């Protein structure tokens, strides 16, 4: 949870630019830099993709959770500081004061569907975030992504000039989920939404061989499950939530993307709470979802009782986003 600004004096005379994140699991605040301006009586709106629009009666700024930084938004006109902010269905934000109103249109950006950050990887799952990208909402079958969905297509042009339609898994006015074409040339690419209501085009992104991203649930915990090896060769799939460890071996199956093009398994490293743990598999997931990867990690009894810890992955020297585990 992001907490921003306020008044240090309690009488609206000393606004602050301070910001902090509240960690629900650890039940404590963590500093998250400062806003570009002192603000009070402001609004904070969570946008698709995880960024936050903070606005008052003078200006606004965007908070990027990946970098923990704020950047000024120059396109919001002045309006009353006593205002409300509403995220519209098409991805824009309506800011309405006493007698004034303004519409904020977020920039269109291409990010990993797991980490919600750039760059992308060939063959990985990605998302285009913005507004008025599509006129309706539609989803594809999990194992079969079409190149046209909800009336729109996503054309990607790589650095060689080759154009490809990306397989689409989901489209909505504010978000398009797609697979980066596996055979695309690495380097800068340009994305154009074909038949979008607002003619979205010219969005640039970088594509690399690998860009590891770990999927997380809404609370920040890893999208993962445990498999425990029992006596006699049997296996038990552990229920979601905390992983309970004892002397029996447990493998953690973590869902990811941007991993499959790794140079070798020996160049894939995982760490829990900063302590390296063995990786026994890193590649395409077994359920046939295009672009979905999995990483199998060996857990040992030494991790028992460690509580909430961050899991991170490094592939060919490139680090992933952290996700949370609970170890009992």
Q: What is the pLDDT of residue 74?
A: 74
Q: For residue 301, what pLDDT band results from cuts at 50, 70 and 90? A: confident
Q: Are residues 13 and 73 in the same domain?
A: yes
Q: Are residues 74 and 96 in the same domain?
A: yes
At which of 208, 241, 275 does a domain end? 208
Domains in the chain: how many in total? 3
Residues whose CB falls within 8 Å of the CB of residue 172, separated by 6 or more in sequence, listed in order: 133, 134, 136, 137, 138, 150
Q: Are residues 270 and 323 in the same domain?
A: yes
Q: Are residues 19 and 83 in the same domain?
A: yes
Under 8 Å between Cβ of 6 and 17: no
Residues whose CB falls within 8 Å of the CB of residue 318, separated by 6 or more in sequence, listed in order: 208, 210, 211, 212
Q: Which three-class secondary structure state does DSSP give residue 244?
A: coil
Q: Are residues 228 and 323 in the same domain?
A: yes
168-171 and 2-4 beta bridge pairing:
unpaired
Q: Are residues 48 and 142 in the same domain?
A: no
Q: Which three-class secondary structure state does DSSP give residue 108?
A: coil
Closest CA to 294 of 278, 283, 305: 283
Show the CA angle centred on residue 214, arms to residues 249 and 141, nearest 5°. Answer: 105
At which of 104, 135, 168 does a domain end? 104
Q: List the CATH number of the domain containing 259.
A: 2.60.40
Q: What is the pLDDT of residue 298?
A: 96
Tell me, what DSSP letter sits at residue 151?
A: T
Q: Are residues 191 and 99 in the same domain?
A: no
Beta bridge partners of 31: 20
Cα separation of 210 and 129, whole Å?
21
Closest CA to 47 of 106, 110, 108, 116: 106
Write out the two tokens for 166. 């990306």
Q: pTM for the complete prediction? A: 0.90
197-to-130, 131, 174, 193 alpha-carbon distances in Å: 12, 9, 11, 9
Q: Are residues 157 and 219 in the same domain?
A: no
At which of 71, 104, 137 does a domain end? 104
End-to-end CA distance of the chain: 25
Q: Which helix (H) or strand (E) holds 307?
A: strand 307-315
Residue range(s) defining the domain that contains residue 193 = 109-208
Tell me, what DSSP letter sits at residue 221?
A: B
pLDDT tens-digit series, residues 172-230:
999 999 999 999 999 999 999 999 998 898 999 999 999 999 999 988 899 999 999 99
Q: Are residues 97 and 120 in the same domain?
A: no
Q: Is the peptide bond before 119 cis (omega within 30 degrees of 0)?
A: yes
Q: What is the pLDDT of residue 281?
A: 98
pLDDT tens-digit series, residues 42-86:
888 999 888 999 888 778 889 888 888 898 887 676 665 567 889
pLDDT tens-digit series, residues 269-281:
999 999 999 999 9
Residues whose CB falls within 8 Å of the CB of residue 16, separated by 6 or more in sequence, listed in order: 5, 6, 7, 8, 38, 39, 40
Q: Are residues 228 and 307 in the same domain?
A: yes
Cα separation of 212 and 162, whole Å?
25
Q: Are residues 249 and 289 in the same domain?
A: yes
Residue 273: count other Cβ atoms within 10 Å of its Cβ.
15
Q: List the CATH number of the domain containing 194.
A: 2.70.50.70
Q: Are residues 181 and 100 in the same domain?
A: no
């Amino acid at each position: 949870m992001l907490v921003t600004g306020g008044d240090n004096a309690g009488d609206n005379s000393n606004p602050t630019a301070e910001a902090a994140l509240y960690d629900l699991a650890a039940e404590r605040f963590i500093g998250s830099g400062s806003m570009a301006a002192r603000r009070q009586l402001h609004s904070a709106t969570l946008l698709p993709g995880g960024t936050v629009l903070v606005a008052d009666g003078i200006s606004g700024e965007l908070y990027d959770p990946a970098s923990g930084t704020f950047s000024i938004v120059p396109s919001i006109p002045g309006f009353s500081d006593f205002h409300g902010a509403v995220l519209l269905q098409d991805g824009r934000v309506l800011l309405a004061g006493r007698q004034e109103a303004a519409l904020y249109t977020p920039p269109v950006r291409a990010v990993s569907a797991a980490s919600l950050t750039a760059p992308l990887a060939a063959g990985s799952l990605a998302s285009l975030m913005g507004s008025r990208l599509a006129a309706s909402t539609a989803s594809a079958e999990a194992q079969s992504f079409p190149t046209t969905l909800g009336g729109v297509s996503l054309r990607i042009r790589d650095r060689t000039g080759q154009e490809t339609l990306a397989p689409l898994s989901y489209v909505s006015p504010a978000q398009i989920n797609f697979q980066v074409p596996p055979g695309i040339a690495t380097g800068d690419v340009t994305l154009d939404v074909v038949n979008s209501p607002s003619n979205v085009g010219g969005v640039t992104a970088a594509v690399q061989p690998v860009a590891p991203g770990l999927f997380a649930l809404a609370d920040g915990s890893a999208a993962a499950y445990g498999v425990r090896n029992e006596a006699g060769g049997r296996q038990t799939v552990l229920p979601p939530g905390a992983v309970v460890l004892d002397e029996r071996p447990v493998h953690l199956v973590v869902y990811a993307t941007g991993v499959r093009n790794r140079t070798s398994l020996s160049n894939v490293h995982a760490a829990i709470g900063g302590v390296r743990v063995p990786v026994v598999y890193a590649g395409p997931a077994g359920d046939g979802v295009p672009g979905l990867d999995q990483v199998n990690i060996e857990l040992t009894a030494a991790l028992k009782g460690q509580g909430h810890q961050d899991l991170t992955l490094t592939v060919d020297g490139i680090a992933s986003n952290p996700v949370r585990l609970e170890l009992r």
